[in-house]
Homo-oligomer: A and B are copies of this chain.
Amino acid sequence: MGSSKNSKLNSESIVGEDEYQDQSIGTELTRTDINKMAWRSLLLQASFNYERMQAAGWLYGLLPALNKIHTNKEDLSKAMKGHMGFLNTHPFLVTFVMGIILAMERSKQNVSSIQSTKIAIGAPMGGVGDAMFWLTLLPICGGIGADLALNGSIMGAVVFFLLFNVVHFSLRFGLAHYAYRMGVSAIPIIKANTKKVAHAASIVGMTVIGALVATYVNLSTTLEITAGDAVVKIQADVIDKLMPAFLPLLYTLTMFALVKRGWSPVRLIVLTVTLAVVGKFAGFL
């Protein structure tokens, strides 16, 4: 996976890119700053898309605080670039992740370390939040509301709206402040153990990414080879028996190789869309 020459070059260049130039702890963030972040987090999914999912909206939420923390423009650019990476978490729990990440930004952790933490905390919270809010809170509030509505009362709408949003907004703002405070109180420990913390965060982050590849990338072939009486379903009969999620892994590693060769994501998207449409047309996807 990557010839040794490649990876050496890579790791060197990353080390440089990875660290912030200004290593002094950033300006303190006020309650107003955190509130602003929480408000902005409402647009987490404004530019939702299937390549990076919530990336740009996530960055949008962090921007004012990042601008305050990174007075050095190059550092700001580094931070922003990092936060354009893939992210998908639950929109109600996102401020929890944001709070922690801002504390890490303030303490000028390395970009890769911050990104690992973002994934390590954010990704599992996606499923947790879906189960708690989309599959539990929502049907409960909806059920109560529908019940009242079917009796002809406008209170159905009102009760639903209030019930749901009391939970929603208390979480959104509560978690933001809670997480930031928690993160800040951990700054000294983090600072003293920068490398170790980064390493630990990367372990969790990369493990989760490995799992995400198998979970989030949906790619399977509908290819069936019919030769006389014999029908071989390539996906069910061959791939799934050998290595489930083989195609997602293969495709991700291919993309990774191309990214390392300098292909731009746009090119990869065009490639992917073309492949998908052609595949659908030719009947193998």
Asked if A14 lies at the interface with its beta carbon under 8 angstroms from chain B, I say: no
Asked if A166 lies at the interface with its beta carbon under 8 angstroms from chain B, I say: no
Q: Are the CB atoms of A230 and B131 closer together than 8 Å?
A: no
Beyond A4-B189, A136-B237, A238-B136, is A227–B141 a contact (Cβ under 8 Å)?
yes
Bound: A230/B139 CA distance, A: 6
A81-89, A112-120, A143-151, A199-207: which lies at the interface: A143-151
The tally of residues in A whose CB lies under 8 Å from a CB in B reads: 30
Asked if A127 lies at the interface with its beta carbon under 8 angstroms from chain B, I say: yes
Copies in the complex: 3
Q: Are the CB atoms of B140 and A225 closer together than 8 Å?
A: yes
Asked if A9 lies at the interface with its beta carbon under 8 angstroms from chain B, I say: no
Q: Are the CB atoms of A229 and B189 closer together than 8 Å?
A: no
Asked if A211 lies at the interface with its beta carbon under 8 angstroms from chain B, I say: no
Q: Which of B145, B189, B241 contacts A131 (CB 8 A)?
A: B241
Bound: A232/B139 CA distance, A: 8
Asked if A226 lies at the interface with its beta carbon under 8 angstroms from chain B, I say: yes
Q: Are the CB atoms of A228 and B4 closer together than 8 Å?
A: no
Binding site for B on A (CB under 8 A): 4, 127-128, 131-132, 135-136, 139-147, 150, 189, 225-230, 232, 234, 237-238, 241-242
